Amino acid sequence: MKQQLEEIMQRAKEKLSLVKEKSELEEIRLAFLGKKGELTAILKGMGALSAEERPKIGQIANQVREYIEEAIESKGIELSAKELEQKLKAEKVDVTMPSKKTMIGGRHPLSSVIEEISRIFIGMGYEIAEGPEVELDYYNFEALNTPKNHPARDAQDTFYFTENILLRSQTSPVQARVMQSQKPPIKIICPGKVYRADEIDATHSPVFHQIEGLVIDKGVTMGDLKGTLELFAKNIFGESTKIRLRPHHFPFTEPSCEVDVSCWSCGGEGCRTCKGEGWIEILGAGMVHPNVLKECGIDPEVYSGFAFGLGVERTAMGRFGIKDLRLFYENDLRFLKQF
């Protein structure tokens, strides 16, 4: 048996030395070590050996098995290295071939403006708040001092799911949600989509973006509002930008104002962009109405605050000199690639 084992080892050695392809290795493994392999056959016959001989032969058989296993493995490694070397030799790199262009996506101009504005306010200590686009009538109107029969609802005619659930027509409902869930001091902005039943034209879209701002603390005044917005406008439209507050009415602020910035095209002299006015309206703002504070569980005798709602499309149009808002939504790469 010992001799048989030595012969097996010898034969395995010879066969392995002749191997050229990796696939042959598996055949050799099966022929010697497989279930029906030569070595396995010997091991099976060991039952017939005497108790004395069995461990000796067993030891040799194990050595032979180990030897064959290792030899197969190292041959495999050797062949892999050869294969790689041949492959590298055969392959030529043609450095003059034009490469495949990788398309790198870019930020949508509305996203970059939202990010830019958010960064300005984060720099002033604001946090970003979020609210649902499918909103309750209560938050979109009722909690904002705009009861069911209020005429201000007409200006924001929107899409209703039921009488009490709608697509938010403004980001202002987030004000009420934040005030009801956080204690002052509060300092948040909320960028997001809003919906209105408006016809599409160069300055209107039924879906657009706003950024809401809200600050509630002790002793907050209209002066703080003005200073904040001035800093914001200069950051976005340039250092020489001026702002102007015009009296207005919003149900949820008192006093309320609309805020204009000096025209980004002409600097205030009057041109086509500002329709000869020298000013362009970009947002609504005011001091949070005491009724709103009360409804949200904040004592108006102790706290005051300001709020504002900014049109993102309008700001982006000014920032990038875009004349038609529809371009933002048409996904024409010739337009989008410019940003």
Contacts with ligand DAH, residue ranges (CB under 6 A)? 170, 172, 212, 250, 253, 284-286, 307-309
Among positive and negative, which fits the CA dihedral 57, 58, 61, 67? Answer: negative
**Does residue 282 sit in helix, strand or coil?**
strand
CB of 129 to ligand DAH, least distance (A): 12
Contact present, 287 and 305 (Cβ < 8 Å)? yes
CB of 294 to ligand DAH, least distance (A): 16
CB of 219 to ligand DAH, least distance (A): 18
Residue 191 or 286: which CB sits closer to ligand DAH?
A: 286
Structure tokens at 322: 């875009």
Residue 176 or 236: which CB sits closer to ligand DAH?
A: 176
If we measure between CA atoms, which residue out of 148, 149, 145 comes closest to residue 164?
148
CB of 195 to ligand DAH, least distance (A): 11
| Residues in CB range of 321: below 8 A, 6 or more apart | 264, 265
Residue 109 or 286: which CB sits closer to ligand DAH?
A: 286
Other CB atoms within a 10 A radius of the CB of residue 22 amount to 14
Instruction: Provide long-range contacts, Cβ within 8 A and 24+ apart, for 182-185.
Output: 184/216, 184/217, 184/218, 184/298, 184/303, 184/305, 185/215, 185/216, 185/217, 185/218
Contact present, 216 and 304 (Cβ < 8 Å)? yes
Residue 37 or 286: which CB sits closer to ligand DAH?
A: 286
Q: Computed over its alpha carbons, how large is the radius of gyration of the chain?
A: 39
Q: What's the CA gap between 146 and 244, in Å, rounded?
A: 26
| Residues in CB range of 15: below 8 A, 6 or more apart | 28, 31
CB of 234 to ligand DAH, least distance (A): 21
Residue 61 or 216: which CB sits closer to ligand DAH?
A: 216
Residue 120 or 312: which CB sits closer to ligand DAH?
A: 312
Q: What's the CA gap between 324 and 202, in Å, rounded?
A: 5
Residue 250 or 264: which CB sits closer to ligand DAH?
A: 250
Residue 72 or 259: which CB sits closer to ligand DAH?
A: 259
C-beta nearest to ligand DAH: residue: 309
**Does residue 148 sit in helix, strand or coil?**
coil
**Does residue 178 sit in helix, strand or coil?**
helix
Residue 39 or 166: which CB sits closer to ligand DAH?
A: 166
Helix (H) or strand (E) holding 136: strand 134-136
CB of 212 to ligand DAH, least distance (A): 6
CB of 256 to ligand DAH, least distance (A): 6
CB of 157 to ligand DAH, least distance (A): 12
CB of 121 to ligand DAH, least distance (A): 14
